[in-house]
A and B are shown apart, each in its own frame.
Chain A
Amino acid sequence: MADDATSTNQHHPAGAPDLGSPAAVRSRLAEHDYLADTGLSTAIFLALRTQRPLFLEGEAGVGKTAVAHTLASVLDAPLVRLQCYEGIDASQALYDWDFPRQLLHLRAAEAGGIRDADAIEAELYTRRFLIARPLLQALETSPCVLLIDEVDRADDEFEAFLLEILSEFTVTVPEIGTLRATEPPVVIITSNRTREVHDALKRRCYYHWLEHPDFEREVAIVRARLPEISERLAREITAVTQALRSADLLKPPGVAETIDWARALAALDVHDLEPDVVMATMGAALKYREDQDRARRLDVGQLVRQALAEV
């Protein structure tokens, strides 16, 4: 098993040499501005090594989707994204026949005087008339990173369908036959936990629950994403969002919101976080009126002073 995995990794473009341990995974992700902790880098390492999907769960905005994006650039492989939604089915996720093109082909064949019905029909159901949707695309593009985003939004029948594809990495099209991935894609599945995903699907994956980062890591993330921001402002903004996170809000701000907020402040050319600036730009992070009301009651000046005292 171990030998097997190593040999596949060798013809991976950016595989074996520098992703040989959780620490290596971590430093490669950091080069691409994604600061993972030990747990996440171990999970990614195992997923890559054993070619199993990685199931990421966590609050909105903790950086689940960003893992896939970063991994794609680390591996220098294209990212294929399947956004799940209620009612998604095989023709949107897997493949569909290109009917207008088939029709055109049929008309053209008729006009050309070809009368052999069997030959025309055989031609109509070939790969060139098949539209590849994300899952088929991912099987045909190797290597690639397949992101199955927000799987909890799809219906549970769709999970069973995913399970089938993810266990074999093959797709059977009745008219054509079985299409197989030359190399299984790196699969990242994310869920916001709007409902419980079935255990059968989880069992196939490595499971990782993503937490909000601690203060120092979050400051580092903001700094990595927005190099133009001063260390001081990054600390101030992080201190405020972390305090908001523990303030019992309807929608606590995630890391994505911290970055958005910092970006807004950078656009305003703010270098020091004053309470009135916080009030004016709060909409970047808090999207409920009740949450904004609650935030107004917090003593922002105190929070900022506290954060700076810790430097």
Chain B
Amino acid sequence: MPWTAADPVSGAVALAAALRGAGMPVGPDRVQRFVEALDHLDVRDRTDVYWAGRTTLCAHPEHITPYDAVFAAFFDGRVADMRRTERMPARRSVAVALPSSAPDADQSRDEEQSALVANASSVEVLRRRDVASLSPGERAELDRLLARFAMPGAQRRTRRWQPDRVGAIDRGRTVRALLRSGGELADLRHRSVRHRPRRVVLLVDVSGSMTPYADALLRFAHAAARGRQSTEVFSIGTRLTRLTRELHHRDADTAMAAVAAAVPDWSGGTRLGAQIKAFLDRWGQRGMARGAVVVVMSDGWERDDPQLLGEQMARLQRLAHRVVWANPRRARPGFEPLVGGLVAALPYVDSFVDGHSLEAYEHLADVVAGRR
């Protein structure tokens, strides 16, 4: 139904439904706020209604474009056909499964092999195996092992204090103790500077050349990000997608399904330079990369001019505490960093590590935590 001044409440509810149809999260409390706002404005005035809705129903700048489209259609009474055409692409079917490693001819041989290995040592073997060459059974085992991962960043000093046995005198606590004992100086309390882990930012390459590793890397990212507010995850390929929210699901498979639905550029080309620039412009420079440990998980294949990648990596290094590059192909025999993008990026990387096996991920976690 189009907007009528006679019945703004039904109109508001219908507009909210249309926005929901376009993929915006408009809850009943927001609708209530919208109606409340209309109460103070002129419901016959398009501008008033527009701004009442925009300040109450939108919560991010990204909401403004769909809101504008839906609002215009709604106000002109074009709402019925709008629902089909304006849907946001993010709401894709979850049925798009994660591209797991392509089953190849080696698979059956691998299964025979793994059946021969004694169960006790299978974990040890799995630790060193290249993720791209696993059988489905081994992959499930790997997923279980990955789920136990935790990856705190290196420690940083905060401005805050914590009680300690030694260190500077804690005036507040000492005085409080004094007050309790009626003014007698019983003993001095001390405090020391509190340390906290740094923020960790993971940039996971999901382009075509990384397809065999993308699933394992994202599961690793899930384990690292889960339950940790300070870890941020992005996928890079032809587009930059923030996955932090999707990865906050506790269950790994649910999180992977959410990720699959959110990433628009699976197995596409790679424009690393442009994506790192997009990350720095939108998030990094404002604060996310500042003082953080930034991990780029990519093989360094760059479709565009590697010079841009070099410039952006230099910028990243100036902002971040530490830049780590994990490359799944590094462990291959005869590996030389000759790929254009990698050559341009490496001068600005603090640690260049493997990224192909469980053992490599354990090592990576140590590097990120500043233990190596």
Interface of chain A residues 43 through 95 with chain B (CB within 8 A): 43, 45-46, 49-50, 52, 57, 85-87, 89
Whether A99 and B176, one on each chain, are in contact in the complex, defined by CB atoms closer than 8 angstroms, is yes
Size band of the A side of the interface? 35 or more
**B286 in the interface (beta carbon within 8 A):** yes
Given contacts A46-B37, A107-B183, contact A207 B48 (CB under 8 A): no
Given contacts A99-B171, A99-B172, A202-B59, contact A42 B51 (CB under 8 A): yes
* CB-based nearest A residue for B229: A156
Q: Which residue of B55, B159, B176 contacts A43 across the interface (Cβ within 8 Å)?
A: B55
The 6 closest A-B pairs by CB, nearest first: A194-B287, A42-B51, A99-B175, A194-B286, A206-B55, A43-B55
What distance in Å separates the Cβ of A20 from its nearest Cβ neighbour in chain B?
10
Q: What are 23 A-B interface contacts by the 8 Å CB criterion?
A: A1-B39, A2-B40, A5-B40, A22-B41, A38-B47, A42-B55, A52-B33, A85-B159, A87-B159, A99-B171, A100-B171, A103-B178, A103-B179, A103-B183, A117-B182, A153-B287, A193-B61, A194-B288, A202-B59, A203-B27, A207-B56, A207-B58, A250-B315
CA distance A209 to B60 in the complex (A): 8
Residues of chain B within 8 A of A57, CB atoms compared: 61
**A110 in the interface (beta carbon within 8 A):** yes
Residues of chain A within 8 A of B52, CB atoms compared: 42, 46
Residues of chain B within 8 A of A194, CB atoms compared: 283, 286-288
**A232 in the interface (beta carbon within 8 A):** no
What distance in Å separates the Cβ of B323 from its nearest Cβ neighbour in chain A?
18
Residues of chain B within 8 A of A250, CB atoms compared: 281, 285, 315
Interface of chain B residues 38 through 70 with chain A (CB within 8 A): 39-41, 47-48, 51-52, 54-56, 58-61, 64
Residues of chain A within 8 A of B33, CB atoms compared: 52, 203, 206
**A39 in the interface (beta carbon within 8 A):** yes
Residues of chain B within 8 A of A46, CB atoms compared: 37, 40-41, 52, 55
**A102 in the interface (beta carbon within 8 A):** yes
**B160 in the interface (beta carbon within 8 A):** yes
CA distance A49 to B27 in the complex (A): 22
**B187 in the interface (beta carbon within 8 A):** no
Question: Which of A1, A2, A99, A153 has the largest count of B CB atoms less than 10 A from its CB?
Answer: A99
Given contacts A87-B159, A195-B287, contact A207 B40 (CB under 8 A): no
CA distance A57 to B54 in the complex (A): 13
Residues of chain A within 8 A of B111, CB atoms compared: none
Whether B36 and A193, one on each chain, are in contact in the complex, defined by CB atoms closer than 8 angstroms, is no
* CB-based nearest B residue for A37: B51
Residues of chain A within 8 A of B37, CB atoms compared: 46, 50, 206
Whether A124 and B179, one on each chain, are in contact in the complex, defined by CB atoms closer than 8 angstroms, is yes
* CB-based nearest A residue for B47: A38
What distance in Å separates the Cβ of B173 from its nearest Cβ neighbour in chain A?
9
The number of inter-chain residue pairs (CB within 8 angstroms) is 100
**B29 in the interface (beta carbon within 8 A):** yes
Residues of chain A within 8 A of B59, CB atoms compared: 199, 202-203, 207
Residues of chain B within 8 A of A103, CB atoms compared: 175, 178-179, 183
**A133 in the interface (beta carbon within 8 A):** no
Whether A42 and B30, one on each chain, are in contact in the complex, defined by CB atoms closer than 8 angstroms, is no
Residues of chain B within 8 A of A192, CB atoms compared: 286-287
* CB-based nearest A residue for B36: A50
Q: Which residue of A39, A196, A202 contacts B54 across the interface (Cβ within 8 Å)?
A: A39
Whether A86 and B47, one on each chain, are in contact in the complex, defined by CB atoms closer than 8 angstroms, is no
Report B237-265 CB contacts with A as 1/0, cut-off 8 Å.
00000000000000000000000000000
**B121 in the interface (beta carbon within 8 A):** no
Interface of chain A residues 19 through 53 with chain B (CB within 8 A): 22, 38-39, 42-43, 45-46, 49-50, 52
**B119 in the interface (beta carbon within 8 A):** no
**A12 in the interface (beta carbon within 8 A):** no
Whether B39 and A209, one on each chain, are in contact in the complex, defined by CB atoms closer than 8 angstroms, is no
Whether B55 and A106, one on each chain, are in contact in the complex, defined by CB atoms closer than 8 angstroms, is no
CA distance A153 to B286 in the complex (A): 10
**B158 in the interface (beta carbon within 8 A):** yes
What distance in Å separates the Cβ of B170 from its nearest Cβ neighbour in chain A?
11
Whether A1 and B36, one on each chain, are in contact in the complex, defined by CB atoms closer than 8 angstroms, is yes
Residues of chain B within 8 A of A153, CB atoms compared: 287
CA distance A53 to B160 in the complex (A): 29
Report B134-160 CB contacts with A as 1/0, cut-off 8 Å.
000000000000000000000000111
Residues of chain B within 8 A of A206, CB atoms compared: 33, 37, 55-56
**A245 in the interface (beta carbon within 8 A):** no
* CB-based nearest A residue for B244: A196
CA distance A155 to B178 in the complex (A): 33
* CB-based nearest B residue for A5: B40
What distance in Å separates the Cβ of A280 from its nearest Cβ neighbour in chain B?
26
Given contacts A50-B36, A50-B37, contact A207 B55 (CB under 8 A): yes
CA distance A43 to B40 in the complex (A): 11
**A208 in the interface (beta carbon within 8 A):** yes
CA distance A124 to B39 in the complex (A): 49
Whether A106 and B315, one on each chain, are in contact in the complex, defined by CB atoms closer than 8 angstroms, is no
CA distance A152 to B40 in the complex (A): 30
Residues of chain B within 8 A of A263, CB atoms compared: none
CA distance A124 to B27 in the complex (A): 47
* CB-based nearest B residue for A152: B287
Residues of chain A within 8 A of B54, CB atoms compared: 39, 207-208
